[in-house]
Amino acid sequence: MPNGRPLALLQESLLGKSATEVLTREALIAELENAGRTLATPLLRLTDASDEPERIDANAINMLERMREPLMTLRSWALVNEPDAALTIDPAVLEDFIHLVAMARSLADFHVAPQPQRLMHLIGLAQVRTRLEAHVGLTPAINMPLLAKTMGLNIVEISAVCGLKLTTVRNAVSRREMPYAKNEGVALDDVLDWMVQRSGFLYSHINATTLERRINGRLVNEELKRSKAVEFERCISRLRLSLWRMRDGERRLALNAEGVRNCVLLLPAIAPELIADLGLEQLEDRSDDPAASMHREALGLSSGESLWQCHVPTLGVLETLLERLSQ
């Protein structure tokens, strides 16, 4: 840790693309193979003073065979946008993998050779997921050891888990879209609310584990699939809406099922005073909008029925709304 700073795992050169695109299986295996070959010679010399090519090759192959499975498991966990308790790595094996990457990085520095950037980036992503899940009370399936204890996420971390360019995140900070402190980054609660509105955010499932975090249409669509308060009616693909009916009563709601920025609901034939006190945002009467006739046709409404629209900010507000609509 030069100058007392922790090892930088996330690689700025890999930012601006989705992590899935950057951390392909082929690229990671290639770096793992190179790390095994790089380490085999000095490790074998240190352990039994041997430099026989055959033994060095065998040592490198053994390292690759042992580390391939934890590498692929870690990749699956770090890149999948949902919790998965089935993915586990033995803590001792995980520690060995991290040590392998750290030693390969040190040797690359010493020999002025290419670093295992993707392997380091993968570990960095997994550490961010661990921190975010633990913050909201989840138990991470793979509990990564943390190299640095920081209060929030920095710009590089935000860029990495959202697949954004550094300049995009810097501009968002300069526009004060999220409060940023120089030595602490963006507090985890604030950054989760901002990141869930980005289409590339890897871990949006985290926002659906609490009632207070910001949500979007995609998350709510999945939540309604599990809800006992509603039943699915149909998709309106040309409007990118999913239509749901309350199990108790005849009220319906339409949802922007693919929405990332916000969760937008259309509420047909409803009295606004019924829902005005629930914490809904941008509650508006859209009955006379230019697009109202198109929505009425899609929802099967008569020309005289009202059409209200609102944004649902959190799952807590959604639960209250569904309860009210069931009355």
For the stretch 287-324, pLDDT in tens is 888 888 888 888 888 777 888 999 999 999 999 999 99
Given this model, what pLDDT does residue 2 score?
Answer: 38
Residue 119 has φ and ψ, to the nearest 5°, of: -65, -40
Average pLDDT over residues 183-197: 94
* Of 213, 160, 214, residue with least CA distance to 185: 160
Q: Give me the pLDDT at residue 36, please.
A: 82
pLDDT (0 to 100) of residue 146: 72
Rounded-to-integer distance, Cα 277 and Cα 51, Å: 76
pLDDT band at 1 (very low <50, low <70, confident <90, very high): very low
CB atoms within 10 A of CB 46: 8
Question: What does the alpha-carbon distance between residue 298 and residue 301 come to, in Å, rounded to a whole number?
Answer: 8
Question: What confidence score (pLDDT) does residue 6 get?
Answer: 47
Answer yes or no: pTM beyond 0.75. Answer: yes
Question: pLDDT confidence of 148, banded at 50, 70, 90?
Answer: low
Q: H or E element: which one contains 143?
A: none
| pLDDT value, residue 5 | 43
Question: For residue 42, is pLDDT > 90?
Answer: no
Task: Pick 299 or 45 by higher pLDDT.
Answer: 299
First to last CA, the chain: 61
In 175-229, alpha helices (H): 188-195, 217-226
**234-261 mean pLDDT:** 90
Helix spans in 49-154 (H): 53-79, 91-110, 117-135
Q: With bands split at pLDDT 50, 70 and 90, how would you rate the model's confidence at 4?
A: very low
Share of the chain above pLDDT 90, in %: 60
Give the residue ranges of DSSP H helices in 163-216: 166-174, 188-195
Q: Examine the pLDDT at 61 and tell me if it is beyond 50.
A: yes
Q: Residue 242: beta bridge partners? A: 235, 255
Enclosing H/E stretch for 49: none
pLDDT at 3: 38
